Structure 1
């Protein structure tokens, strides 16, 4: 039975945003039951090596961290870990940041202030092959 459950778990990498942000988001996502944080990278620059080592299903990259390299990380992940889909999380930049993210291969974008269940929904949609854009990011 546990093998069956494990097959339904979406493996998530969280990158950037500060330790407290990642820990809090990770704890909230764990409450969802079908999401498990398998890697935690301090920055988007570190995210690629973590993605290669842990092979997550979805990477959530902080697009606000100054000099984080999230654009390069998203592009490199698409090429080197193609099974890992990317979602950016941001509190600024709006539609311009979302367009940039989609251009380099990210599949979605969410506001940092969004409720954890909305971030979880975005992860599920992106994992299933869809795209997700928080309505305010599109506006």
Structure 2
């Protein structure tokens, strides 16, 4: 019996996935969570063989939680659910050693098969998804530009970012201008979108 932890914040989707998996005689959903910060504590309690993790989770994103889970419970294999429109996130997941991905709009019967393959330690990779992820390449942003852009992504104004990072507001604006230029964006909002799509933030 393959024990599964399911991490999905959309209640209807999680219920449908659980119902689908419970039709399988060799798969048992032993835990369900709705937030990324719940994954590791629940996995340490339930000891699943496979964690099926959505990338877009509240509090802690799925990739960050999955990376921590790999460190804390190496026996648990991880299958990441992603959308085709998130190649940058897949690239980020690959960079932390996650090797099993399933596109969210895949046929339902592929989920059980993907879980079985993941439990056996096999790679589950959509070639088109991985090829798309590799198109982005490494981030052109410096560590400081990345930090400033992350702060801006949370809605912080230049003055607030300057106070937190012990910089002048002018220096923060210079980092933002540089990040906009390097990402080929039209403005700060566009730079944040480009960097997030590419998995650079």
TM range (shorter): 0.7 to 0.9
SS at match of 2:109: helix
- Greater relative contact order, per chain length (Cα 8 Å cut-off, separation 6+): 1
Counterpart-to-counterpart distance in 2, 1:106 and 1:38:
22
Whether the 8 Å contact between 1:94 and 1:136 is mirrored in structure 2 is no
Q: 1:46 to 1:92 in 2, by over 3 A?
A: farther
Q: Which has the larger radius of gyration?
A: 2
Match of 1:124 in 2: 116
More helix by share: 2
2: CA distance, partners of 1:41 / 1:66: 11
User: 1:35, 1:107 → 2: CA distance?
Assistant: 20
Unaligned runs of 5+ in 2: 132-201
Q: Structure 1: which 5+ runs fail to align?
A: 1-8
TM-score (norm 1): 0.85
Aligned alpha-carbon RMSD (Å): 1.7
> Could you list the per-position Cα deviations for residues 9-64 of structure 1 after superposition, in whole angstroms to 9, with x for gaps in the alignment?
11000002311111100110111211111000011221111111101000011112
Shift of 1:73: 0.8
Larger strand percent: 1
Taking a change above 3 Å as real, the CA distance of residues 90 and 17 of structure 1, as seen in their structure-2 partners, is farther
How many residues end up aligned between the 2 structures?
A: 131
Instruction: State the partner residue of 1:11.
Output: 3
Match of 1:12, SS state, is strand
Q: Is 22-31 or 95-104 further displaced after alignment?
A: 95-104
TM-score after normalising by structure 2: 0.60
Q: How far is the alpha carbon of 1:95 from its aligned partner? A: 3.3
